[in-house]
A and B are shown apart, each in its own frame.
Chain A
Amino acid sequence: MIKVWFGFDGEAMSDPSPSFDGLCAVYADSWFSDEFVKKMVNDIDRSKVLSPRCIESPVFGQISPRDLSGGLKACILLYELYYDDDLYIDLTACGENCVPWLAEIFAKRDCTVSCSTFDLSFKGYDISGVCLNDGSEIKNWMDFSDKRRKFIREVRNGGLG
Chain B
Amino acid sequence: MKGKYILEVYSPAVRYSLVLERQVTVISGNSGTGKTSFVDSCRQLIGNKRSPVKSNYKGRILVLEPNDNYWESKIADSKGCFIVADEGCDYIRYKQFAEAVSYSDNYFILISRSPLHYLTYSVRSVCELVSNRKGVYQFVELRYRVSESDLRVHVDTIITEDSNSGCEMYKKLLSDSDIKVESARGKDNVCNYIRDFVERFSSKSVCSIVDGSAFGNQLMDYMDLMKRYSDVYLMAPESFEYLLLKSKVFRIDDDLLEKVYDYCDSVKYISWEGYFTDLLVSVSRKYKIPYNKGRLNSFYLSNRRVCEFFLRMLSDEFII
> Interface of A with B (CB < 8 Å)?
8, 10, 14-15, 17-18, 44-46, 58-61, 67-72, 90, 92-98, 116-121, 123, 142, 145-146, 148-149, 152-153, 156, 161
Residues of B within 8 A of A156 (CB): 117
> Interface of B with A (CB < 8 Å)?
13-14, 28-37, 66, 86-88, 90, 93-94, 112-115, 117, 131, 133, 138, 191-192, 195, 220-221, 223-225, 227-228
Q: How far is the CB of B126 from chain A (nearest CB, A)?
A: 9
Q: Are A119 and B31 in contact, with the CB atoms below 8 A? A: no
Residues of A within 8 A of B113 (CB): 92-95, 117, 119-120
Q: How far is the CB of A76 from chain B (nearest CB, A)?
A: 11
Q: Are B30 and A149 in contact, with the CB atoms below 8 A? A: no
- Smallest CB-CB A-B distances: 10 pairs: A71-B31, A15-B88, A95-B30, A118-B220, A95-B31, A69-B32, A45-B32, A119-B113, A97-B30, A117-B113
Q: Are A97 and B32 in contact, with the CB atoms below 8 A? A: yes
Q: Are A142 and B13 in contact, with the CB atoms below 8 A? A: no
Q: How far is the CB of A74 from chain B (nearest CB, A)?
A: 8
Residues of B within 8 A of A8 (CB): 90, 93, 114
Q: Are B191 and A70 in contact, with the CB atoms below 8 A? A: no
How far, in whole Å, are A83 and B251 apart by their CA atoms in the complex? 67
Q: How far is the CB of B86 from chain A (nearest CB, A)?
A: 7
Total A-B pairs, Cβ < 8 A = 112
How far, in whole Å, are A120 and B133 apart by their CA atoms in the complex? 27
Name 15 A/B residue pairs within 8 A (Cβ), A-sorted.
A8-B93, A15-B86, A59-B138, A60-B13, A60-B14, A67-B37, A94-B31, A94-B113, A95-B31, A118-B223, A121-B224, A121-B228, A145-B228, A149-B192, A149-B225
How far, in whole Å, are A70 and B88 apart by their CA atoms in the complex? 10
Q: Are B221 and A149 in contact, with the CB atoms below 8 A? A: yes
Q: How far is the CB of B36 from chain A (nearest CB, A)?
A: 6
Residues of A within 8 A of B94 (CB): 161
How far, in whole Å, are A85 and B244 apart by their CA atoms in the complex? 56
Q: Are B36 and A70 in contact, with the CB atoms below 8 A? A: yes
Q: Are A117 and B31 in contact, with the CB atoms below 8 A? A: no
Q: How far is the CB of A71 from chain B (nearest CB, A)?
A: 3
How far, in whole Å, are A49 and B49 apart by their CA atoms in the complex? 33
Residues of B within 8 A of A116 (CB): 93, 114
Residues of B within 8 A of A10 (CB): 90
Q: Are B224 and A44 in contact, with the CB atoms below 8 A? A: no
Interface core residue of A45, A67, A70, A72 (most chain B CB under 10 Å): A70
Q: Are B36 and A92 in contact, with the CB atoms below 8 A? A: no
Q: Who on chain A is nearest to B91 by CB?
A: A161
Q: Are B33 and A95 in contact, with the CB atoms below 8 A? A: yes
Residues of A within 8 A of B117 (CB): 156, 161
- Do A44 and B31 contact each other (CB < 8 Å), given the known contacts A149-B195, A156-B117? yes
Q: Who on chain B is nearest to A10 by CB?
A: B90
Q: Are A72 and B31 in contact, with the CB atoms below 8 A? A: yes
Residues of B within 8 A of A17 (CB): 36, 88
Residues of A within 8 A of B32 (CB): 44-46, 68-69, 71-72, 95, 97
Q: Are B114 and A92 in contact, with the CB atoms below 8 A? A: yes
Q: Are A93 and B87 in contact, with the CB atoms below 8 A? A: yes
Q: How far is the CB of A52 from chain B (nearest CB, A)?
A: 19
Q: Are B28 and A119 in contact, with the CB atoms below 8 A? A: yes
Q: Who on chain B is nearest to A156 by CB?
A: B117
Q: Are B223 and A69 in contact, with the CB atoms below 8 A? A: no
Give the contacting residue for A95; candidates B29, B221, B225, B227; CB below 8 A.
B29
Q: Are B228 and A142 in contact, with the CB atoms below 8 A? A: yes
How far, in whole Å, are A101 and B45 apart by their CA atoms in the complex? 34
How far, in whole Å, are A97 and B133 apart by their CA atoms in the complex? 20
Q: Are B66 and A15 in contact, with the CB atoms below 8 A? A: yes
Give the contacting residue for A59; candidates B14, B220, B223; CB below 8 A.
B14
How far, in whole Å, are A90 and B31 apart by their CA atoms in the complex? 14
Q: Are A121 and B114 in contact, with the CB atoms below 8 A? A: no
